[in-house]
């Protein structure tokens, strides 16, 4: 315990005792000059997460305050204002420039490790497309709008899915897009052959994000239902929303089962077809039309190869 | 004026997703807050009463909407900020809540931080989940459970080069449910699944600790985690559990007693290491993680009653064992930016999970011990992916990107068993399935004028041996989005299609076509009204070969094509009016309408029982719509009175479950919003 305390104190000292950097850049005027004209921005800026760099008083001029993001303002001041004289006016910058400016500080965040190859970056969705530094609707992540509304702006069909009768409660506010997705880009999904969608975040760095909440489906089970592990939950479910109960891809369960369990060709783990149903299952008997009435442990079982328990 | 504009502009955004009438989004009090000492305070609290009046299938209402009568804290927000960034104990507190007290969907989010020293984030959520289980088991898999999540994360020295992290997460699900058990018959296929009560109790706890070190532009992260899973749901006898009670009139199966305990205790441990650097022309991210999972389980199930022919029967089943799942992942991400216009990224990912375990199964049926079978199963999935993506901006207004991705997957299974005490009774079989996927992507983005953007991308993929008949084999996707955005007007339209054909041979051919369209408009030409409208169409048609047994007297093997057609038209309309300086009115309407394939009857004229069975589930037309209206009146600068109404109507056209789930519900609320 003493060693842990000593370590904490040492780290705290190291963290607090960083040398005050000297002003190495040229043309920096300091945030106090900016606020004479931009009082409306400055008045609430102490609530902004970026105010930390000003409060610190230890950052070099190119990493603090207004000029930390917008660049040295001497020419802008000399010209009496104007966007064109701001070295980094985000509304005039190309998306890639805006991205690189923000990554100057934020690149070290683990969640942004894949931002250069993310579909958002490829489609020119840069930081300031979603984040509003000075007029944010959410003080925590400086989002331009509430998260779901922000995503719906481009992903309108997803909004339609979350408005269906069976859905994850995103519109109701209890689930968020970022519970499953990383808008800054994710590593390859390791299920579904790393195919689309690519911005789904792995749970615990290794698993489908569904099991973060649906812990009972996580296993490990002795008798795994292979497509659940290999293809992911999407093989049977629509993850956003569905007109069918339980987010299923079909209105009744037996068609989902039969479309795989047809015994055909080289499918399945044995390469000789996914096993066909037993000849005792008469599909005209209502008892056999609701497969999971008996195969209750369809996501995986500890006791039965046919998921009966 | 500028601030007012931005506040109003933010309010426009709320229209685009406004679907639940409460909490009220209108702001109250000064957006700049009030100063007290060295801190600034901003707060809003909305307390009110929600009501509902439901007609029709209440189970479907609870599964779809689930708002009930009662008072609740509909929403709140509180922010406290130190004005100089040098608060004594903290520099910022942010608290947001939603639905606390009575809503089925509750949320609380807290951040407390002191610059340079610490940051604490907490999220707490509750989802009161109801599911009638109609589709899967004719209502027998009823669930009325509540799920609660909480996440805590503490970061020490968050702005330092040395950071320490600790976290805790918890996920609990509990509540009453029904499940089914195959009960007693010496022929499992002829046993009847009878409902039994279960009171779900599932807990998952995770503890994390880790840290970051920045040295010479390299950042090294290490994270250690432990998580524990526990499920000990008690199962109980449901009085009246009989085949007759669930509609099987010629089956005499019934339960007279039933006891089941099936506890599962799991423990996982894992670590993650990450090394990254980001330079002007290149960056590297290398990550490795290891995650070990282990579940120990046992089950003791004792039942007695009568079999399908009316004979007394009893059965005991004993199961025990454990399952393991080590998962190893590795990722290497290399980025190069040889010029300011070009970015090339190569990513290699490796993932290996090996799930294995023994399970012993003992069954004693009507006093006869069937012996113990020790099963062993192994499922290993190894996956290697390499992808290269290039992103090139030709001019400021046009850019291209393209990528090539390759994935190799090996699925290895081992199936073995041994009869305890029986010599030479063991058997083991090993199978391997490999699949390679080559896929390519290409896209173009154009910005012909300042506020107009167009993006088009395409992907094509070829897999040589997918695992299932419905997996992606030969697929292509096309995606397009055009948007025009200025402050007062936002227009966008999109198209996306995904075609997949998985047809190696004969009757098993499978094809899936989805085409999604959307068009959206947000308009706020005057600062006293705004309008938001969107239309989406989601089309899906699939055709898959199936084989099954069916027949009037003796079932015979039959084959055919399972078809599913869905044509969903979804619309959203919202309008906000500032009637006077004090009164805000919002009206909205949301509709989801699946027209199916246009047929007027479920079976579409099929007379053969088998054909009628499958024809009847080829499409599922329904309408789900919800108009709403809300008035918010500012009584004082820091006090508002709100009232709202929302109507839900669910109407399915066909009776494919044997009964309709249709419902309609009048819901509403009245509340007071205030700021201190």
Of all residues in chain B, the one with the smallest CA distance to A144 is: B10
Q: Which residues touch B53 (CB under 8 Å, ≥6 apart)?
A: B665, B666, B667
- Could you tell me which residues are beta bridge partners of residue B361? B319, B373
The upper half-sphere exposure of residue B493, i.e. CA atoms within 13 Å in the direction of its Cβ, equals 1
| Count of domains for chain A | 2
Give the gap in angstroms from C-alpha B389 to the nearest C-alpha of chain A.
Answer: 7
A66 in any annotated domain: no
Q: Please give the full DSSP string across B141-152, using - where no structure is assigned.
A: T-EEEEEEEEEE
Distance between CA B560 and CA B457 in Å, rounded?
36
Is the per-residue pLDDT at A194 higher than 90?
no
- Measured from the Cβ of residue B149, the count of other Cβ atoms closer than 10 Å reads 21
pLDDT (0 to 100) of residue A24: 47
Tell me whether residues B84 and A216 touch, CB distance under 8 A: no
What is the model's pLDDT at position B507? Answer: 62
Q: How much is the pLDDT for B603?
A: 81
Contact (CB<8Å) A157/B331:
no
pLDDT value for B504: 62
Check A258 against B189: CB less than 8 A apart.
Answer: no
A20-34, B108-122, B321-335: range with lowest mean pLDDT:
A20-34
pLDDT of residue B367: 86
**Which ranges constitute the DSSP H helices of A17-137?**
31-37, 39-43, 51-56, 65-70, 74-78, 95-106, 119-122, 127-130
Partner residue facing A274 (CB), from B317, B469, B559: B469
Contacts of A224 in chain B (CB under 8 A): 355, 377, 379
Grade residue B503 by pLDDT with cuts at 50, 70 and 90: confident
Q: CA of B387, closest CA in chain A: separation in Å?
A: 9
Say if B41 falls within a structural domain: no
ipTM over 0.85? The verdict is yes
Dihedrals phi, psi of A194, to nearest 5 degrees: 60, 30
C-alpha A264/C-alpha A275 separation (Å) is 8
Which pLDDT does position B525 carry in this prediction?
82
Chain A CB contacts of B65 below 8 Å? none
Residues of B in contact with A44 (CB under 8 A): 32
- Chain B neighbors of A222, CB-CB under 8 A: 321, 323, 357-359, 375-377
Label residue A8 by pLDDT band (50, 70, 90): very low
DSSP state of B8: H
The alpha-carbon gap from A206 to the nearest alpha carbon of chain B, in Å, equals 7
Contacts of B202 in chain A (CB under 8 A): 215-216
Instruction: Check residue A15 and give its pLDDT.
Output: 44
Assess whether pLDDT exceeds 70 at residue B370.
yes
Q: Cα dist. B348→A187, B92, B332 in Å?
A: 9, 40, 5
Burial of A83 per CB tally in 10 Å (0-12, 13-18, 19+): exposed
The confidence score (pLDDT) of residue B526 equals 83
pLDDT for res B188: 61
Average pLDDT over residues B365-369: 87
Strand B162-183 versus strand B143-156 pairing type: antiparallel
Phi, psi of B453 (to 5 degrees): -130, 150
Which residue of chain A is at minimal alpha-carbon distance from B408?
A: A193
Q: Which domain holds residue B521?
A: 468-620
Q: Which residue of A has its CA nearest to B218?
A: A108
Q: Is the pLDDT of residue B5 over 50?
A: no
pLDDT at A20: 40
Chain B CB contacts of A308 under 8 Å are 182, 188
Report the chain B residue with the minimal C-alpha distance to residue A254.
Answer: B136
Summarize pLDDT for B28-52 with one digit per residue, the tens. 888 888 999 999 999 999 999 999 9
Whether B323 sits inside 8 A of A280 (CB atoms) is: no
Query: What per-residue confidence (pLDDT) applies to A2?
Result: 54
Q: How confident is the model at residue B93 (pLDDT cuts 50, 70, 90)?
A: very high
Question: 10 Å Cβ neighbour count for B91?
Answer: 27
The shortest C-alpha distance from A72 to chain B (Å) reads 20
Question: Is residue B474, in this structure, part of any structural domain at all?
Answer: yes
**Cross-strand partners of B206:** B169, B227
What residues contact residue B615 under an 8 Å CB cut-off, 6+ apart? B602, B603, B604, B606
Q: What percent of chain A has pLDDT over 70?
A: 89
What is the pLDDT averaged over residues B249-270?
91
Contact call for residues B646 and B50 (beta carbons, < 8 A): no
Residue B613 located in a structural domain = yes
Residues 6+ apart with CB under 8 A from A1: none
* Contacts A232 to B, Cβ<8 Å: none
B476 has which bridge partners? Answer: B460, B499
List of chain B residues whose C-beta atoms are within 8 Å of the C-beta of residue A258:
546-548, 562
pLDDT value at B12 more than 50: no
Average pLDDT estimate for B334-361: 94
Asked if residues B550 and A283 have their Cβ atoms less than 8 Å apart, the reply is yes
Q: How many domains does chain B have?
A: 1
User: pLDDT exceeding 70 applies to what percent of chain B?
Assistant: 96
The pLDDT score that the predictor gives to residue B506 is: 58
- Does residue A186 lie within any of the structural domains? yes
Residue B184 near residue B313 (C-beta atoms within 8 A): yes
The mean pLDDT value for A215-220 works out to: 92
A108, A259, A276: residue with CB nearest B510: A259
C-beta of residue A160 within 8 angstroms of C-beta of residue B570: yes
**CA atoms of B495 and B517, how far apart (whole Å):** 5
A-B C-beta contacts closer than 8 Å = 524
Check whether the bond before A220 is cis (ω within 30° of 0): yes
Do the Cβ atoms of A209 and A180 come closer than 8 Å?
yes
The predicted pLDDT at position A6 comes to: 47
Contact between A222 and B6 using a beta-carbon 8 Å cutoff = no
Spatial separation of the C-alpha atoms in residues B62 and A103, rounded to whole Å:
46
pLDDT at B169 over 90: yes
Chain A partners of B270 at a C-beta cutoff of 8 Å?
204-206
Average pLDDT over residues B344-356: 94
Inter-chain CB proximity B160 and A11 less than 8 Å? yes
Both A190 and A229 in a single domain?
A: no
Is A121 within 8 Å of B291 when comparing Cβ atoms? no
Residue A117 lies in domain: 92-194
Contact B130, B66 (CB under 8 A): yes
Angle (nearest 5°) at CA A172 between A166 and A173: 125
Which positions in chain A touch B85 (Cβ < 8 Å)? 46, 51-52, 54-56
Is A191 a residue whose pLDDT tops 80?
A: no
Beta strand B70-82 with B92-100 is: antiparallel
A124 and A159 together in one domain: yes
Cα B465 to Cα A57, A227, B232: the distances in Å are 60, 14, 40
Q: What would the mean pLDDT of A84-88 be, rounded to a whole number?
A: 93
- The packing angle between helices A147-154 and B2-15, to 10°, is 70
- pLDDT tens string B636-652: 999 999 999 999 999 99
In a shared domain, residues A237 and A283: yes
Q: Give chain A's mean pLDDT.
A: 87
Mutate: best of A4, A49, A172, partner B, most B CBs <10 A? A172
Find the residue in A nearest to B335 (Cα): A116
Establish if A38 belongs to a structural domain: no
Any alpha helices (H) in B106-247, and if so which ranges? 134-137
The rounded mean pLDDT for chain B is: 91
Which positions in chain A touch B115 (Cβ < 8 Å)?
A: 52, 55-56
Give residue B247's pLDDT. Answer: 80
CB under 8 A, 24+ apart: contacts of B583-587? B583/B631, B583/B632, B583/B633, B583/B634, B584/B26, B584/B631, B584/B632, B584/B633, B585/B629, B585/B630, B585/B631, B585/B632, B586/B15, B586/B18, B586/B628, B586/B629, B586/B630, B586/B631, B586/B632, B587/B627, B587/B628, B587/B629, B587/B630
Nearest to A48 by CA among B92, B440, B330, B373: B92
User: Which H or E run includes B433?
Assistant: strand B427-449
Model confidence at B153, pLDDT cuts 50, 70, 90, reads very high
Which H helix or E strand runs over B609? helix B609-615
**Which of A5, A89, A195, A200 to mutate to probe the B interface, most B CBs <10 Å?**
A195
| Of residues B202, B549, B592, nearest to A160 (C-beta) | B592
Any domain includes A27: no
CB contact under 8 A, A188 and B387: yes
CB contact under 8 A, B14 and A145: yes
| Candidate from B98, B214, B409 with C-beta closest to A193 | B409
- Interchain contact, A250 vs B345, CB within 8 Å: no
Cα(A123)–Cα(A144) distance, integer angstroms? 19
Report the alpha-carbon distance of residue A249 to residue A236 in Å, rounded: 6
CA gap B223, B274 in Å, rounded: 9
How buried is B448 (Cβ within 10 angstroms: 0-12 exposed, 13-18 middle, 19+ buried)?
exposed
- State the first-to-last Cα distance of chain B, in angstroms, to the nearest integer: 24
- Is the domain of A233 the same as that of A287? yes
Number of Cβ atoms within 10 Å of the Cβ of B500:
22
Q: How far apart are the CA of B448 and the nearest CA of chain A, in angstroms?
A: 13
| Binary contact (B550, A205; C-beta < 8 A) | no
A9 — pLDDT class (breaks 50, 70, 90): very low
For the residues B20-34, what does the mean pLDDT come to? 87
B36 in a domain, yes or no? no
Distance, in angstroms, between A262 CA and closest chain B CA? 5
Nearest to B465 among A165, A251, A266 (CB): A266
Q: Is A97 in the same domain as A143?
A: yes
Which residues make Cβ contacts (< 8 Å) with residue B427, sequence separation at least 6?
Answer: B416, B417, B418
Residue A225 and residue A159 share a domain: no
Which pLDDT tens digit goes with each residue over A61-77? 888 999 999 999 999 99
- Mean pLDDT throughout B335-348? 93
- Residue A278 domain flag: yes
The pairing of strands B639-652 and B70-82 is unpaired
Query: Could you tell me the CA-to-CA distances from A177 to A162, A181, B400 in Å, in that order?
Result: 11, 6, 27
Domain assignment of residue A164, yes or no: yes
Mean pLDDT in residue range A219-237: 93
Interchain contact, A243 vs B92, CB within 8 Å? no
| Whole-number Å distance between alpha carbons of B323 and B300 | 18
Cα dihedral B631→B636→B638→B639 (10° resolution)? -40
Cβ–Cβ below 8 Å for B443 and A123: yes
- Chain B residues within 8 A of A139 when measuring between CB atoms: 79, 94
Per-residue pLDDT band for B270 (boundaries 50, 70, 90) equals very high
**A224 and A136 both lie in a single domain:** no
A79/chain B closest Cα distance in angstroms:
23
Could you tell me which of B413, B465, B456 has the C-alpha nearest to residue B435?
B465
């Amino acid at each position: 315990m003493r060693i842990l305390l000593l370590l904490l104190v040492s780290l705290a000292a190291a963290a607090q005792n960083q040398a005050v950097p000297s002003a190495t850049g040229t043309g920096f005027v300091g945030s106090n000059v900016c606020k004479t004209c931009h009082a409306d921005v400055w008045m609430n800026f102490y609530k902004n997460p970026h105010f930390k760099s000003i409060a610190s008083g230890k950052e070099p001029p190119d990493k603090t305050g207004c000029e930390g993001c917008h660049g040295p303002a001497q020419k802008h001041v000399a010209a009496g204002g104007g966007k064109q004289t701001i070295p980094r006016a985000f509304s005039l910058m190309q998306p890639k420039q805006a991205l690189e400016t923000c990554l100057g500080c934020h690149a070290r965040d683990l969640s942004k490790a894949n931002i250069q190859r993310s579909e958002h970056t490829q489609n020119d969705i840069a930081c300031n497309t979603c984040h509003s530094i000075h007029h944010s609707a959410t003080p925590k992540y400086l989002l331009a709008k509430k998260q779901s509304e922000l995503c719906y702006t481009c992903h309108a069909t997803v909004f339609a899915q979350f408005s269906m009768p069976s859905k994850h409660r995103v519109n109701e506010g209890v689930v968020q897009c970022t519970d499953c997705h990383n808008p800054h880009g994710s590593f390859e999904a390791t299920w579904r052959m790393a195919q689309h969608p690519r911005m789904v975040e792995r749970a615990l760095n290794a698993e489908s994000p569904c099991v973060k909440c649906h812990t009972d489906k996580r296993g490990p089970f002795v008798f795994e239902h292979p497509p659940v592990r290999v293809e992911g939950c999407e093989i049977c479910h629509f993850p956003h929303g569905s007109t069918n109960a339980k987010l299923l891809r079909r209105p009744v369960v037996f068609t989902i089962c039969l479309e795989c369990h047809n015994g055909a060709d080289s499918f399945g783990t044995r390469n000789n077809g996914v096993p066909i149903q037993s000849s005792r299952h008469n599909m005209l008997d209502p008892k056999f039309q609701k497969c999971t009435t008996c195969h209750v442990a369809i996501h995986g079982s500890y006791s039965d190869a046919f998921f009966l328990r | 004026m500028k601030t007012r504009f931005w506040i109003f502009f933010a309010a426009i955004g709320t229209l685009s997703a406004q679907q639940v009438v409460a909490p009220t989004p209108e702001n109250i009090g000064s957006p700049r807050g009030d100063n007290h000492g060295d801190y600034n305070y901003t707060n809003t609290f909305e307390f009110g009463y929600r009501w509902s009046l439901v007609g029709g299938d209440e189970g479907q209402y609870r599964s779809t909407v689930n708002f009930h009568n009662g008072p609740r804290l509909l929403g709140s927000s509180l922010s406290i900020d130190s004005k100089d960034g040098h608060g004594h104990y903290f520099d910022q507190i942010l608290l947001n809540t939603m639905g606390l007290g009575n809503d089925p969907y509750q949320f609380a989010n807290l951040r407390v931080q002191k610059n340079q020293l610490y940051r604490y984030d907490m999220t707490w959520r509750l989802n009161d989940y109801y599911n009638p289980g109609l589709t899967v088991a004719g209502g027998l898999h009823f669930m009325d459970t509540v799920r609660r999540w909480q996440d805590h994360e503490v970061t020490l020295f968050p702005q330092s080069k040395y950071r320490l992290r600790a976290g805790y997460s918890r996920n609990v699900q509990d509540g009453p449910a029904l499940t089914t058990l195959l009960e007693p018959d010496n022929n499992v296929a002829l046993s009847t699944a009878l409902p039994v009560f279960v009171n779900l109790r599932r807990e998952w706890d995770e503890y994390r600790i880790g840290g970051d070190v920045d040295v010479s532009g390299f950042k090294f992260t290490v994270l250690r985690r432990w998580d524990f899973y526990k499920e000990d749901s008690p199962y109980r006898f449901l009085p009246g559990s009989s085949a007759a009670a669930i509609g099987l009139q010629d089956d005499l199966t019934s339960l007279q007693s039933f006891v089941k305990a099936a506890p599962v205790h799991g423990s996982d441990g894992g670590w993650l290491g990450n090394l990254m650097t980001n330079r002007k022309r290149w960056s590297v991210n290398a990550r490795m993680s290891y995650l070990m999972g282990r579940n120990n389980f046992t089950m003791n199930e004792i039942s007695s009653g009568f079999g399908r022919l009316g004979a007394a029967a009893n059965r005991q089943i004993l199961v025990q064992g454990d399952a393991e799942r080590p998962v190893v992942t590795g990722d290497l991400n290399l980025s190069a930016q040889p010029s300011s216009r070009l970015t090339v990224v190569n990513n290699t990912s490796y993932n290996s999970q090996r799930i294995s375990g023994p399970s012993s199964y003992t069954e004693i049926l009507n006093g006869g011990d069937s012996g113990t079978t020790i099963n062993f199963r192994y499922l290993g999935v190894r996956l290697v992916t390499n992808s290269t993506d290039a992103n090139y901006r030709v001019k400021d207004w046009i850019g291209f990107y393209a990528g090539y991705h390759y994935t190799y997957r090996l699925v290895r299974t081992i199936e073995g068993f041994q009869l305890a005490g029986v010599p030479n009774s063991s058997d083991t079989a090993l199978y391997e399935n490999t699949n390679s996927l080559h896929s390519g992507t290409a896209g173009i983005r154009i910005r012909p004028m300042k506020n107009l953007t167009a993006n088009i991308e395409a992907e094509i993929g070829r897999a040589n041996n997918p695992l299932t008949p419905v997996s992606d084999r030969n697929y292509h996707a096309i995606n397009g989005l055009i948007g025009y955005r200025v402050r007062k007007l936002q227009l966008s339209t999109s198209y996306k299609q995904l075609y997949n054909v998985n047809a190696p041979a004969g009757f098993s051919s499978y094809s899936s076509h989805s085409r999604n369209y959307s068009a959206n408009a947000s308009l706020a030409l005057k600062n006293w009204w705004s309008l938001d409208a969107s239309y989406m169409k989601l089309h899906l048609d699939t055709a898959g070969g199936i084989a099954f047994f069916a027949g009037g007297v003796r079932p015979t093997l039959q084959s055919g094509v399972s078809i599913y057609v869905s044509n969903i038209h979804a619309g959203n309309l919202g309008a906000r009016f500032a009637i006077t300086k004090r009164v805000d009115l919002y009206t909205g309407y949301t509709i989801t309408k699946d027209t199916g394939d246009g047929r007027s009857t479920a079976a579409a004229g099929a007379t053969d029982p088998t054909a009628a069975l499958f024809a009847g589930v080829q499409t599922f037309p329904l309408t789900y719509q919800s108009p709403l209206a809300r008035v918010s009146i500012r009584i004082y600068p820091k006090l508002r009175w709100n009232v709202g109404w929302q109507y839900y109507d669910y109407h399915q056209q066909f009776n494919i479950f044997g009964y309709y789930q249709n419902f309609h519900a009048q819901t509403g609320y009245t509340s007071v919003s205030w700021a201190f």
